[in-house]
Amino acid sequence: MQSQQPATGHYAAVHGLQLYYEVHGTGTPFVLLHGGGSTIESTYGRILPTLAKSHQVIAIELQAHGHTKDIDRPLSFEQDADDVAALLEQLHIDKADVMGFSNGGTTALQIAIRHPQLVRKLVLASALYKRDGMQPGFFEGMAHATFDQMPQPLKDAYLKANPDSAGLLAMFHRDVARMVGFTDIPDAKVRAIQAQAFVINGDADVVRTEHAVELSHTLPHARLAILPSGHGDYIGEICSPTPHSQMPAQVTAMIEEFLAK
């Protein structure tokens, strides 16, 4: 997807942020939340145009990511959830479907926990709610992560949205600190979510298959898809080693079917 910022990009004053968001298409509101270290385009560039054919897609870049500049405030999934809720209030959207990938999936869970009235349906793609949901060694590695280890496509995507190398480095450190300090979301809070949910995971994902199964069983109204895929390859995320795969089209069709029911 080519950048459509001139036609679709907006900023909203939210909790001290100038929060960047894009609106594509018309129909039922569908909020898209990107992964850690990512932008709208790097996470959803492959599937957003299709989703916008039948939904009013509201794609957001959260604090320190992409067009949304950092402020003097640590990152947290709870705060991101509150920022999204405040934006929807400004847009006079009472209820929306919400999709989050990776860190965005954890934020989507927090929206459903903290602002349940806003959520119609949830799409949770490679979403984490417990530390043991990541592959062994992930958090040990995160504690010693260096900027050089950040995937180059994510660096390039950030600089395309915001050509500020200091901002890119700030995003990296914010994301690392958030993950190092991540704590489990209690099962009771997940069980209290009443929205229908669609849990998606890859069988070669950084999020363990067993964790996706557990999440789908803990949510009271969830369906599950385990796909032959790595982390985000199934939606054509920018780091995918198979950029011409047909799987993103198939997964988009599955998401559309879930939302239409």
pLDDT above 50 (res 6): no
Assigned token pair, 180:
């190092």
Dist. CA 174–CA 120, nearest whole Å? 30
Enumerate residues 6+ apart whose C-beta is below 8 A from 80: 33, 62, 63, 107, 110
Q: Which amino acid is at 61?
A: E
Share of the chain above pLDDT 70, in %: 97
Please tell me the predicted confidence (pLDDT) of residue 7: 56
Q: For the chain, what are the domain ranges?
A: 5-260
pLDDT above 50 (res 11): yes
pLDDT above 60 (res 183): yes
Q: What is the pLDDT of residues 128-178, one digit of tens each?
A: 999 999 999 999 999 999 999 999 999 999 999 999 999 999 999 999 999
> What residues form DSSP beta bridges with 78?
none
Dist. CA 176–CA 174, nearest whole Å? 6
165-180 and 152-161 helices, crossing angle to 10°: 120
**What fold does the segment set 5-260 form as a domain?**
Rossmann fold (3.40.50)
Contacts of 239-246 spanning 24+ positions with Cβ under 8 A? 239/42, 239/151, 239/153, 239/154
Dist. CA 235–CA 81, nearest whole Å? 22
Assigned token pair, 54:
């039948």
Contact 47, 252 (CB under 8 A): yes
Q: What is the pLDDT of residues 227-241, one digit of tens each?
A: 999 999 999 999 999
Dist. CA 96–CA 195, nearest whole Å? 11
Dist. CA 15–CA 215, nearest whole Å? 30
List the 96-101 sheet strands across, edge first: 9-14, 17-24, 55-61, 28-33, 96-101, 119-125, 196-202, 222-227
3-state secondary structure of 251: helix
* pLDDT confidence band for 50 (50 / 70 / 90): very high
User: What are the residue ranges of helices labelled H in the chain?
Assistant: 5-8, 40-44, 48-51, 77-90, 103-114, 138-143, 152-161, 165-180, 187-191, 209-218, 247-260
Report strand pairing: 17-24 vs 9-14.
antiparallel
- Please, what is the average pLDDT of the chain? 96
Q: What is the pLDDT of residues 95-136, one digit of tens each?
A: 999 999 999 999 999 999 999 999 999 999 999 999 999 999
183 to each of 74, 139, 159, 164, how far by Cα in Å?
15, 11, 30, 31
In 125-152, which positions are buried (b, 16+ CB within 10 angstroms) versus exposed (e)? bbbbbbeebbeeebeeebeeeeeeebee
Please tell me the predicted confidence (pLDDT) of residue 8: 77
Q: What is the pLDDT of residues 59-92, one digit of tens each?
A: 999 999 999 999 999 999 999 999 999 999 999 9
- Taken in order 154, 97, 133, 135, the sign of the CA dihedral is negative
